[in-house]
Amino acid sequence: MTNIKASILINGVEFEANLQEPLDISIELSSEKNPQAWYVDLPKITPVMTDHFTGSVALGGAVNFRNIFFNPHGHGTHTECVGHISKEVHSVNDSLKTFFSDASLITINPDTLKENDRWMEKGDLVITRDQLESQWDGSSESLIIRTSPNTKEKKEKNYSDTNPPYIHPDAMEYIASTGVKHLLLDLPSVDRESDEGKLIAHRIFWNYPANMNLERTITEMIFVGNNIPDGTYLLELQVASFNNDASPSRPVIYTLKVK
pLDDT digits (tens, 9 = 90+) for 6-20: 999 988 899 999 999
- What pLDDT, on a 0 to 100 scale, did the predictor assign at position 255? 97
Largest pairwise CA distance in the chain? 64
Q: How far apart are CA 185 and CA 189, in angstroms?
A: 8
Please report which confidence band the pLDDT of residue 169 belongs to, taking 50, 70 and 90 as the band edges: very high
Q: How far apart are CA 127 and CA 170, in angstroms?
A: 9
37 in a domain, yes or no? Answer: no
C-alpha dihedral, 208 to 193 to 131 to 108, nearest 10°: -130
* Short-list 209, 232, 206, 201, CA closest to 217: 206
The CATH number for 185's domain is 3.50.30.50
Whether the upstream peptide bond of residue 149 has omega within 30° of 0, thus cis, is yes
pLDDT value at 200 more than 90: yes
pLDDT tens digit string along 46-104? Answer: 999 999 999 999 999 999 999 999 999 999 999 999 999 999 999 999 999 999 999 99
243 in a domain, yes or no? Answer: yes
What's the whole-number average pLDDT of the chain? 96
238 in a domain, yes or no? Answer: yes
Query: What range does the domain containing 15 cover?
Result: 5-29+72-258
* SS3 state of residue 188: coil
50 in a domain, yes or no? Answer: no
pLDDT value at 22 more than 90: yes
Please report which confidence band the pLDDT of residue 1 belongs to, taking 50, 70 and 90 as the band edges: low
42 in a domain, yes or no? Answer: no
27 class by beta-carbon count within 10 Å (0-12 exposed, 13-18 middle, 19+ buried): buried
Find all residues with CB under 8 Å of 114, minimum gap 6, and list them.
Answer: 122
Please report which confidence band the pLDDT of residue 39 belongs to, taking 50, 70 and 90 as the band edges: very high
Q: How far apart are CA 21 and CA 160, in angstroms?
A: 35
Find all residues with CB under 8 Å of 255, minimum gap 6, and list them.
Answer: 17, 18, 21, 23, 233
- What pLDDT, on a 0 to 100 scale, did the predictor assign at position 3? 83
229 in a domain, yes or no? Answer: yes
- What pLDDT, on a 0 to 100 scale, did the predictor assign at position 259? 86
204 in a domain, yes or no? Answer: yes
Please report which confidence band the pLDDT of residue 228 belongs to, taking 50, 70 and 90 as the band edges: very high
pLDDT tens digit string along 105-123? Answer: 999 999 999 999 888 999 9
- Count of domains in the chain? 1
60 in a domain, yes or no? Answer: no
* Total count of residues recorded for the chain: 259
- Rounded to an integer, the average pLDDT of 224-228 is 97
- What pLDDT, on a 0 to 100 scale, did the predictor assign at position 118? 80
Whole-structure pTM value:
0.96
Q: How far apart are CA 102 and CA 92, in angstroms?
A: 20
pLDDT tens digit string along 133-154? Answer: 999 999 999 999 999 999 999 9
